[in-house]
Chains A and B, each alone.
Chain A
Amino acid sequence: MARKISMKQAINEALDQEMARDPSVIMMGEDIVGGAGGDGERDAWGGVLGVTKGLYAKHGDRLLDTPLSESAYIGAAIGAACCGMRPVAELMFVDFMGVCFDQIYNQAAKFRYMFGGKAETPVVIRAMCGAGFRAAAQHSQMLTPLFTHIPGLKVVCPSTPYDTKGLLVQSIRDNDPVIFLEHKNLYGFEGEVPEALYAIPFGEANVVREGKGATIVTYGLMVHRALDAAAALAKDGVECEVIDLRTLSPIDMDTVLESVEKTGHLVCVDEANPRCSIACDVSAQVAQQAFGALKGPIEMVTAPHTPVPFTPVLEDLYIPSAAQIAAAVKRSRAGGRH
Chain B
Amino acid sequence: MTRSAITPLIMPKWGLEMREGTIAGWLVDEGRRIEVGMPVLDVETDKISNAVEAPDAGLLRRKVAKDGEVLPVKALLAVLAEAEVSDAEIDAFIAAYEVPAAGGDEADEASAFQWAEVSGIRVRYARRGPEAGVPVLFVHGFGGDLGNWLFNLDAVAETAPVIALDLPGHGQSDAKLPGTSLAALADFVGIFLDQLDVARVHWVGHSMGGAIGAQFALDHPQRVASLALVASAGLGAEIDGGYIDGFVKAASRRELKPVIEKLFADPSLVSRQLLDDLLRFKRIDGVTELLAGLGGALFGGGQQAVLPATQLPAAGPPLLVVWGAEDHVIPAAHAKAAPTGATVAVLPGAGHMVMMEKAGEVNALLRKHLAR
Chain A residues near B (Cβ < 8 Å): 1-2, 4, 162, 166, 194, 196-201, 204, 207, 210, 254-255
Contacts and interface: CB of A to CB of B under 8 A. Distances in A.
Contacts of B252: 201, 204
21 contacts: A1-B122, A1-B124, A1-B172, A2-B172, A162-B280, A194-B172, A194-B284, A196-B285, A198-B283, A198-B284, A199-B283, A199-B285, A200-B283, A201-B251, A201-B252, A204-B252, A207-B253, A207-B272, A210-B272, A254-B254, A255-B254
Nearest to B273: A210
Contact of B280 (A4, A198, A204, A210): A198
Given A1-B172, A2-B172, A197-B285, 5 more contacts: A166-B283, A194-B284, A198-B280, A198-B284, A199-B285
B175 interface: yes
A197 B124 CA distance: 17
B115 interface: yes
Contacts of A162: 280
A200 B280 CA distance: 9
A217 B32 CA distance: 45
Nearest first, the 6 closest Cβ-Cβ pairs linking A and B are: A198-B283, A197-B285, A198-B284, A196-B284, A204-B252, A1-B172
Nearest to A4: B106
Interface string B273-295: 00000001001110000000000
B101 to A, nearest CB: 22
A196 B175 contact: yes
A198 B251 CA distance: 12
Interface in B168-219: 172, 174-175
- Interface SS, B side: mixed
Contacts of B175: 196
Interface in B237-257: 251-254
A4 B252 CA distance: 24
Interface string B103-114: 000100000000
Contacts, number: 33
Contacts of B253: 204, 207
Nearest to B282: A198
A4 B109 CA distance: 12
Nearest to A192: B280
Contacts of A199: 283, 285
Nearest to B272: A210
Contacts of B124: 1
Contacts of B280: 162, 194, 198
A196 B251 CA distance: 18
A196 B272 CA distance: 23
A16 to B, nearest CB: 14
A123 to B, nearest CB: 22
A273 B262 CA distance: 45
Nearest to A207: B272
Nearest to A237: B68
A171 B137 CA distance: 41
B20 to A, nearest CB: 14
Contacts of B172: 1-2, 194
Given A194-B280, A204-B253, A207-B253, A1 B285 contact: no
A200 B276 CA distance: 12
Contacts of A198: 280, 283-285
A2 B172 CA distance: 8
A254 B284 CA distance: 25
A149 to B, nearest CB: 26
Which of B174, B254, B280, B283 counts the most A-chain CB atoms under 10 A from its CB?
B283
Nearest to B275: A207
A243 to B, nearest CB: 11
Nearest to A210: B272
Contacts of B285: 196-199
Interface string B258-278: 000000000000001000000
Contacts of A200: 283
A100 to B, nearest CB: 32
Contacts of B272: 207, 210
A314 to B, nearest CB: 37
Nearest to B251: A201
Contact of A1 (B115, B254, B283): B115
A238 B157 CA distance: 40
Contacts of B122: 1
Contacts of B174: 196
A197 B284 contact: yes
Contacts of A204: 252-253
A199 B252 CA distance: 12
Contacts of B283: 166, 198-200
A200 B251 CA distance: 9
